[in-house]
Amino acid sequence: PQAPKIVTPSVPLDSLERYYEVYNFDMVRRALPSFERGAEPMRRKAELYTERMERAERMLEHTDLIPLIGKYKSDWQTLPSLLKTQSPNLARNMQIEIDEAGTILYTFDVKLGQLHFALHRNQAQKTLVRTDYPSGEKAVETEVSKLISTPEGDENFPVLLSDGIRLIFARRSDEGLGGYDLYLSRYSVDKNEFLEPSLMGLPFNSPANDFFLAYDDEQNKTFLLSDRGCTKPGEVMLYVFEGLPQVLSEKASTEGEQSNNLDKDELIRRALLREPAQPKTNDDN
């Protein structure tokens, strides 16, 4: 039998990526067939984008409508000072430095009563540990579950919430939307380990790198660090939300994800963290 004809994709790969990045799923679907009939690397790309698109599409109707109240463009060098300004409470536990080689050195260290949780990262190793200090006893250090620190995964930027139970961290894998994605895990007292993490939804995850999500109890604000919309190497954006994400609320734990009744365009706008369109006035004509 004659070998199937190799087709050159009708849409460049960077155009396909741009359609996906703005959740234009219809255009992605139109472009995918020519990739599926292309050479092996293109077929693998098509499979990956199909999985990511379907994942993002399922998430869209559950987009968290948490109010966005500010966003601040920064870079890794100036981010620590920005964090101190926006959330002194978080900045006490979270430290970010850049070494001479440009490597991001991230340290998260928090003490909650008898619990001490830390991640220390340098060029040689990344260590995520949980230490208990039982009253009158020697400290007991426990490696975080292999469900969190996987051999094949690339995990970073963990943030332990103030309840000492919920852990949000970033992971880079093919199971997300692209780049670093945010995951949520919970600590089981009975099993003495963190449980299987779940991929967080929109707008906290995106096709870009989403590095960390943290809630400041004192200010009742949520902070998201991402490089979505950034065009220069090393640029990051700190998004500030009012209140607690739905997935972290008590209501979510009892009722699960809530669907939204907004139209698709509005859901996409909120998922992309874009400003609402300004109504036209007579001066615009």
More confident residue, 277 or 175: 175
Phi, psi of 65 (to 5 degrees): -95, 25
Flag whether pLDDT at 130 surpasses 70. Answer: no
> What is the distance between the alpha carbons of residues 168 and 212, in angstroms, rounded to a whole number?
7
**Domain assignments of the chain as residue spans, ordered by start:** 13-60, 68-255
Residues 152-187: pLDDT tens digits?
A: 668 888 888 888 889 899 999 899 999 999 999 998
State how far the Cα of 70 lies from the Cα of 242, in Å rounded to an integer.
9
Q: Which of 67-71, 116-120, 155-159, 235-239 has the lowest mean pLDDT?
A: 116-120
Between 203 and 46, name the one with better pLDDT.
203
Residue 259 has pLDDT above 90, yes or no: no
pLDDT of 137 higher than 50: yes
The proportion of the chain whose per-residue pLDDT surpasses 70, expressed as a percent, equals: 75
Sign of CA dihedral 49, 175, 214, 150: negative
Does position 27 have pLDDT exceeding 80, yes or no? yes
Say yes or no to pLDDT of 236 above 60.
yes
Q: 140-143 and 126-132: which strand pairing?
A: antiparallel
